[in-house]
């Protein structure tokens, strides 16, 4: 199953895609919330990396939509706007809307660790 | 016989009339003979001295007047002198206190009468003296008010020649009041202002209104000048004619310093609001650089990918650096205050770049005008940027659920208007005329100082422009900034 990357910054998508592809996995990218929702609806993803602030929607809103799908993918929020013990983030985790948070800038191994944990 | 009767009749009739007349006079009238005995007296004297007619007429003056008056005024001697010389004594002052009544002050005259009598006329001036003392007290008070004021207060005749010059004026100009008295006020203004100030005095002649302006006052002691904010007001007489001009001036140096501090602190508030957006924006390129550098550390990467990583690192460092540069420029720029030629479109574009991050975070779309060549205005770039930054941030704050902020620029013959419209909550009708007041804020405590728009107002005024707001509750707001074109 491919992994969805949602970030309005093409270079960010480039970075995450490269790390994931190095593990022999497939990647789909979306640059805004609407596009992400469309792809979530029509594709089948095991994992979603999603930026917190998208030009048209809040990343959490997209995560909430993803959490209501039948085959719900696991969602990891990647953001430079929040910090890891941010109340917003903690709340989203406790509500089971996201299952992890990664602060920008991150190390490549942090992404790899998430991939391994999620895919086992 | 009948003739005699009429003579007699008319004589007693006249005596009666004159007696009544004398009694009606609110002054005291005494007739005294050359032996200094009272021959006749009117009712007012008896009333004031609390004596009866019987123990007054025929008595010597020394019995009728208290000793203290006789001694202090030497009135007996004066009366005798009038008998000798036949020349009247006019307007002498006498203080008299009859037993049991408050002190009274009189002016008296001693007038010779041909039948070897004199008339002593005493007028009670207690009230007039009290009033004139009151007037003098008020005058002294007014003079000390003017003297104690820390603002310059001066008065001129209708031509603008200085009549009075208070101590604040002496202190600020270094010129003494006697040095400037009678000189034209405009001679103490900068050469290029003289004609304009002369015109203000001309206008005062036929005006009922004050005139407010700012210009430099020369301080000859150090060959320099100071910027003063002036108010000229026509001084009118009882008939409404201008008889002079009152000029009040306030040293602007202190106010300018405060304004500068206020703007700087408000700017820091704006920076605080922007911080969230900026953090997000800087961490993106940092994350890209960080990951790309980690790719470069991996073994066996191909030369093409190596180059790509290096290019991404460089481009993203540039991006982060540009964000920081914008921020620094905004934080520092208010220190220069010199008016120069400024391209308004560049100012707008740079300011939009600064808030673009914040707008993105709040899902706000910004519509900038189609690119024209340039629109030049005289201005201070940093201050104009602060104005638009405040307006933009207000617009963004008004749209917590996202929306559109559009900027429209329109040029007319001699001016340019910038309309900034948001689709936010709007401003309630009752608050529309208060939004430029200092400390007026709709933000919760701790989230806004309420100084932003009042500072915008003062900056735009300094640029000889205007700023207005239009809004309806729930239908967004439009801020309109008008500036003169270069």
B136 touches chain A (CB under 8 A): no
Q: Is B198 exposed, middle or buried (0-12, 13-18, 19+ CB in 10 A)?
A: middle
Mean pLDDT of A45-54: 91
For B317, list phi and psi in degrees, rounded to 5: -65, -40
Domain CATH for A103: 3.40.50.2300
Chain A residues near residue B290 by CB distance under 8 angstroms: 105-107
| Predicted confidence (pLDDT) at residue A47 exceeds the cutoff of 80 | yes
Q: Does B315 fall in a domain?
A: no
The number of angstroms, rounded, from the C-alpha of A111 to the middle of its chain's C-alpha atoms is 11
What pLDDT does residue B446 have? 46
| Predicted confidence (pLDDT) at residue A114 exceeds the cutoff of 80 | yes
What pLDDT does residue B442 have? 62
pLDDT tens digits along A74-107: 999 998 888 778 888 999 999 999 999 999 999 9
- Do B466 and B355 fall within a single domain? yes
- Do B199 and B75 fall within a single domain? no
Domain tally for chain B? Answer: 3
Block mean pLDDT (10 aa), chain B, length 486? 59 84 89 91 88 91 83 85 90 75 83 89 87 89 88 92 92 90 90 86 89 86 84 91 92 78 74 70 90 92 92 91 76 68 91 84 84 85 88 87 91 92 84 69 54 80 87 85 91
Domain tally for chain A? Answer: 1
Q: Are B388 and B351 in contact (CB under 8 A)?
A: yes
**Cβ-defined contact of B287 to A79 (cutoff 8 Å):** no
pTM over 0.80: no
B270-298 in b/e form (b: 16+ CB < 10 A) is beebbebbbbbbbbbbbbbbbbbebbeee
Q: Are B16 and B24 in contact (CB under 8 A)?
A: no
Chain B residues near residue A11 by CB distance under 8 angstroms: 284-285, 288, 312, 315-316
How many Cβ contacts (< 8 angstroms) between chains A and B? 67
What pLDDT does residue B270 have? 74
- Do B110 and B158 fall within a single domain? no
- Considering CB atoms only, which of B285, B294, B316 is closest to A107? B294
**How far is the C-alpha of B306 from the C-alpha of B296, rounded, in Å?**
6
- Do B405 and B455 fall within a single domain? yes
- Do B460 and B352 fall within a single domain? yes
Domain region containing B388: 336-486
What pLDDT does residue B103 have? 78
B403 touches chain A (CB under 8 A): no
What pLDDT does residue B292 have? 95
**Is A53 strand, coil or helix?**
strand
- Do B120 and B169 fall within a single domain? no
Domain CATH for B377: 3.30.565.10
Strand partners, B466: B482
**Cβ-defined contact of A105 to B290 (cutoff 8 Å):** yes
- Do B106 and B240 fall within a single domain? no
Mean pLDDT of A30-55: 91
- Do B112 and B245 fall within a single domain? no
Domain CATH for B103: 3.30.450.20
What pLDDT does residue B252 have? 84
- Do B40 and B90 fall within a single domain? yes
Which H/E stretch holds residue A4?
strand A3-6
- Considering CB atoms only, which of A15, A56, A104 is closest to B283? A104
Given B200, B222, B252, the domain boundary residue is B252
Chain A residues near residue B282 by CB distance under 8 angstroms: 80
Given B231, B252, B273, the domain boundary residue is B252
B275 touches chain A (CB under 8 A): no
Given B95, B128, B161, the domain boundary residue is B128
- Do B182 and B110 fall within a single domain? no
Residues 353-382 of B with CB under 8 A from A: 360-361, 363
Chain B residues near residue A108 by CB distance under 8 angstroms: 291, 294-295
Q: Does B436 fall in a domain?
A: yes
Domain region containing A91: 3-119
Q: Does B351 fall in a domain?
A: yes
C-alpha closest to that of B247 among B302, B328, B336, B180? B180
B58: left (phi over 0), alpha (psi -120 to 50) or beta: left
- Considering CB atoms only, which of B287, B312, B315 is closest to A106? B287
């Amino acid at each position: 199953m491919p992994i969805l990357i949602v970030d309005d910054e093409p270079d960010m998508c480039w970075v995450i895609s490269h790390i994931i592809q190095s593990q022999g996995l497939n990647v789909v990218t979306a640059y805004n919330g609407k596009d992400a929702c469309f792809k979530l609806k029509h594709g089948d993803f095991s994992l979603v990396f999603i930026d917190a602030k998208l030009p048209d929607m809040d990343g959490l809103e997209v995560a909430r939509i993803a959490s209501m799908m039948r085959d719900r993918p696991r969602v990891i929020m990647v953001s430079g706007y929040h910090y890891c013990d941010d109340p917003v983030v903690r709340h989203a985790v406790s509500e089971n809307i996201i299952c992890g948070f990664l602060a920008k800038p991150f190390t490549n191994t942090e992404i790899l660790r998430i991939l391994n944990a999620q895919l086992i | 016989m009948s003739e005699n009767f009429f003579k007699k009749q008319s004589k007693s009739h006249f005596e009666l009339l004159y007696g009544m007349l004398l009694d009606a006079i609110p002054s005291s009238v005494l007739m005294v003979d050359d032996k200094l005995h009272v021959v006749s007296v009117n009712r007012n004297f008896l009333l004031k001295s609390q004596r009866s007619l019987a123990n007054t007429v025929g008595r010597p003056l020394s019995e009728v007047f208290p000793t203290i008056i006789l001694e202090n005024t030497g009135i007996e001697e004066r009366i005798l002198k009038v008998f000798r010389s036949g020349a009247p004594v006019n307007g002498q002052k006498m203080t008299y206190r009859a037993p049991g009544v408050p002190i009274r002050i009189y002016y008296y005259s001693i007038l010779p009468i041909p039948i070897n009598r004199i008339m002593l006329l005493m007028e009670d001036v207690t009230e007039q003296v009290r009033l004139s003392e009151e007037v003098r007290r008020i005058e002294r008070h007014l003079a000390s008010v003017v003297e104690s004021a820390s603002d310059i207060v001066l008065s001129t005749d209708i031509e603008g020649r200085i009549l009075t010059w208070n101590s604040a004026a002496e202190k600020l100009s270094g010129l003494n009041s006697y040095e400037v008295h009678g000189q034209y006020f405009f001679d103490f203004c900068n050469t290029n202002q003289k004609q304009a100030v002369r015109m203000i005095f001309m206008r005062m002649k036929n005006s009922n209104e004050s005139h407010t302006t700012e210009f430099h006052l020369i301080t000859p002691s150090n060959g320099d000048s100071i910027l003063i904010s002036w108010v000229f007001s026509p001084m009118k007489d009882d008939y409404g004619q201008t008889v002079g001009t009152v000029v009040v001036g306030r040293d602007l140096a202190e106010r300018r310093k405060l304004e500068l501090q206020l703007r700087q602190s408000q700017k820091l508030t704006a920076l605080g609001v922007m911080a969230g957006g900026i953090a997000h924006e800087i961490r993106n390129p940092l994350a890209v650089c960080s990951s790309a550098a980690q790719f470069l550390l991996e073994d066996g990467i191909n030369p093409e990918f190596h180059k790509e990583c290096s290019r991404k690192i460089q481009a993203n460092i540039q991006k982060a650096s540009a964000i920081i540069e914008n921020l620094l420029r905004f934080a520092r720029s208010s220190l220069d205050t010199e008016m120069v030629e400024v391209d308004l479109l560049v100012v707008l574009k740079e300011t939009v770049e600064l808030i673009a991050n914040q707008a993105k975070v709040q899902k706000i779309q910004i519509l900038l005008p189609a690119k024209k060549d340039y629109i030049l205005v005289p201005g201070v770039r940093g201050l104009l940027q602060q104005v638009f930054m405040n307006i933009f941030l207000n617009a963004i704050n008004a749209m917590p659920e996202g929306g559109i902020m559009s900027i429209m620029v329109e040029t007319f013959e001699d001016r340019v208007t910038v309309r900034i419209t948001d689709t936010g909550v709007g401003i309630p009708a009752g608050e529309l005329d208060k939004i430029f007041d200092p400390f007026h804020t709709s933000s919760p405590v701790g989230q806004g100082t309420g100084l932003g728009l009042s500072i915008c107002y003062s900056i735009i005024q300094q640029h000889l422009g205007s700023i207005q707001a239009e809004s309806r509750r729930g239908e967004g707001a439009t801020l309109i900034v008008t500036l003169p074109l270069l």
